[in-house]
Amino acid sequence: MLKLFLLLILWFPSIFSQPGDLNNKFLLARSYEQAGDLKKACEIYEDVYAKQPDNLQFFSSLNNIYVLLKNYDGSVKLLKSRIEKTPADVSLYGLLGVTYFLSGSEREAEQVWENAASKFNNDAFLRTLAGYALNVRAFDIAIKMFQKAKISTTNQVFYAFELANLYSITMQYKNAAEELAFVVIRDPAQIFNVESRIYPYLSKPDALNSFISVFEKNNPEQNMNFAHLLGILYTEAKQYDDAFNTYKLLDEVQKQQGNELLNFAQRVQNSGDINTALKVYDYLLANYTSSPMVSSIKLSYAKTLEASLESNFLANNDLWKPVYRIKSLDQPGYLRLIESYMEIINLYPNSESAIEAILRIALIYDKRLKMYPEAEKNYSMITKNYPMSRFYLDAVLNHGILAIKKGDINDAETLFDNTFLITNNSNPNFYQIKYYRALCYFYKSDIISARTILDSLSKKINDNIANDALELLVVFNSSLNDSINLLRLADIEFRIFMEDFDNALNGLLEISNSTPSFLLRDYVNFRIAELLTANDDYNKAVQTLQLTLENNPENIYSDKILFFMSEIFEYGLKDYSKATSSLEKLLMNYPDSIYSEKCREKILQLKRKTS
């Protein structure tokens, strides 16, 4: 009895200590693996697995280390022995296929997975096998698995989406389109999911054409889901006539009262095809006169017509110049545009659409036709009658600027000062109004009041108005010992504002020749170059800027001067080589300039022009 007891004591510790020892060895092997000593880790994994072959964790770690060491024969042997023991474990066939694939035996891998697919003909098992194939980017094999799964499952839509994704990855766009078409037919509620799947491929011409050809075969005349998708695809492919016809159909069948066509016109306009947008608006205005969307249609039409006129205006005038004269204007076109806006005002009086139309009319009379009394009349309609409108400050700002342009500084001050009663205003126009209020003080030679406003504006961060205010403050501060020329400058800047360029140019030349302030002279010379450019005297403008740089190497406007010179060379003199040279000099000497990003963009554009 005593012997038996002693034997039990000796036997039980060996039983209970063995798993602990194996686990400790396993953890040691993992430490070696993490440290990069794969061979040492492998030796220990082999040892613990040999002692406990049913331990799934030991098996998995040993197989992984074989694969990492590219000991594919060892992995194959291990997996096959495991399959013999547990032939119903689908994951083992997946792992065996991975090993064969990584070893370069792709045919054997495919055979293993296909045999397993035949054996486990169930969509869940097939999805598992496809997952192993995808892990090694064996896309064609994964596609076969998903095709089999799609046949054997009731959830065919899920696998159609998966197949569409795989076909897209492998650039089999026609097949991808076929699968998405299957989804639309099988489950129409998935239309917006299908739409979202299409968007990433719209920039690829091959994909776009494939999707169009497939969807066109699915009766879009009767199936509005396919019509909806084709409308998007046609628009992206710039097949605007096809898109137009498709959206006509959609709007009619779905009784959208013009909404589909309005959205289409706006998308086309945003893409830059203004003429097509106008064509759609003309159709809407002719065929949807009773639509509740008609006010939006009319306003969008007018804005698009204005965009067309502005595009032509930009092409025929030198808007690149800081100061320019209008050379070409489609006056009849702008008068027709005013009529379009007037129609909106008459149809929808006192609405925000009408107020916006009034503002657009005022701006046309002011900025384009130079018919100032008409512009003032329309600005006043808003400033007097619609103080709560979101267009109120736009009207005040532009009305005040027009008053200054006409020489009526007191009227401008009255308009601007009324807005300062508005508190807690976050509209950017509010700060522009303050800036022009400071200019009014400056033009009236009240430098102290102008400086007070400009100083408050200069403290705003990352704002163009803050930069303008700061630039003018620098001029003020540099001219403290030359008050006579500073007052002269106030009168000259007022003349420039009133577009009296010739008298302003003579006055600037006088200041340049008489001021002792280097900074004031640099500022004035830059303004001289701007006015010379306005008069198309490009060579003299460049000479002025070059002399300004030569006479004062520490010129604080150096980067601005170089950028302006590049503009003159590019647009005025058409000398792209010198334009590029000026930009490169700017980047080299002033890498932190606010013009740096623009410089890089323009250099690329210039190189494309000369290539």
| Alpha-carbon span 269 to 316, nearest angstrom | 21
HSE on the CB side for 347, CA within 13 Å?
18
| Alpha-carbon span 370 to 507, nearest angstrom | 26
For residues 21-48, give the mean pLDDT.
78
Q: Which residue has the higher pLDDT, 8 or 434?
A: 434
According to the model, what pLDDT value does residue 422 have?
66
For residues 579-584, give the mean pLDDT.
95
According to the model, what pLDDT value does residue 86 have?
79
The segment with the largest mean pLDDT, out of 174-178, 254-258, 522-526, is 522-526
According to the model, what pLDDT value does residue 424 have?
54
Report the length, in residues, of the chain.
611
The segment with the largest mean pLDDT, out of 111-120, 281-290, 564-573, is 564-573
Residue 35 Cα distances to 30, 60, 65, 330, 403, angstroms: 9, 19, 13, 77, 78
According to the model, what pLDDT value does residue 423 have?
53
pLDDT above 50 (res 5)? no
Q: Which residue has the higher pLDDT, 27 or 407?
A: 407
Closest CA to 417 of 399, 398, 433, 394: 433
For residues 54-59, give the mean pLDDT.
79
The percent of residues in the chain predicted with pLDDT above 70, rounded, is 95
For the ranges 91-95, 176-180, 251-255, 262-266, the lowest mean pLDDT is seen at 91-95
Task: Please say whether the beta carbons of 98 and 63 come within 8 A.
Answer: no
Q: Which residue has the higher pLDDT, 380 or 143?
A: 380
pLDDT above 80 (res 375)? yes
Q: Which residue has the higher pLDDT, 544 or 428?
A: 544
According to the model, what pLDDT value does residue 321 have?
95
Residue 7 confidence class, pLDDT cut points 50, 70, 90: very low
pLDDT above 70 (res 8)? no
| Alpha-carbon span 559 to 591, nearest angstrom | 10
Q: Which residue has the higher pLDDT, 602 or 553?
A: 602
pLDDT above 80 (res 420)? no
> Strand ranges (DSSP E) for 4-111?
none
φ and ψ at residue 167, rounded to 5 degrees: -65, -40
For the ranges 332-346, 385-399, 467-481, 486-500, the lowest mean pLDDT is seen at 467-481
According to the model, what pLDDT value does residue 18 have?
56
**Residue-wise pLDDT tens digits, 123-138:** 677 777 777 777 778 7
For residues 109-124, give the mean pLDDT.
73
Sequence-distant (6+) residues with CB within 8 A of 60 are: none
For residues 7-32, give the mean pLDDT.
59
Cβ neighbours of 444 (radius 10 Å): 16
Tokens 């719209």 correspond to what residue? Answer: 202
pTM of the model: 0.69
Task: Please say whether the beta carbons of 496 and 527 come within 8 A.
Answer: yes
For residues 135-143, give the mean pLDDT.
79
According to the model, what pLDDT value does residue 65 have?
76
Cβ-count burial of 358 within 10 angstroms (0-12 exposed, 13-18 middle, 19+ buried)? buried
Token digits of residue 406: 């006409």
Task: Please say whether the beta carbons of 179 and 161 come within 8 A.
Answer: yes
Token digits of residue 447: 């430098």
Cβ neighbours of 95 (radius 10 Å): 22
Classify residue 322 by its DSSP letter.
S
Classify residue 365 by its DSSP letter.
I
With b for 16 or more beta-carbon neighbours within 10 A and e for fewer, the 475-498 pattern comes to bbebbeebeebbebbbebbbbbbe
pLDDT above 70 (res 12)? no
Token digits of residue 450: 């102008």
Closest CA to 448 of 409, 504, 490: 490
pLDDT above 70 (res 556)? yes
CA 260 to chain centre: 24
**Residue-wise pLDDT tens digits, 490-523:** 999 999 999 999 999 999 999 999 999 999 999 9
pLDDT above 90 (res 51)? no
Handedness of CA 508, 512, 516, 519 (dihedral sign): positive
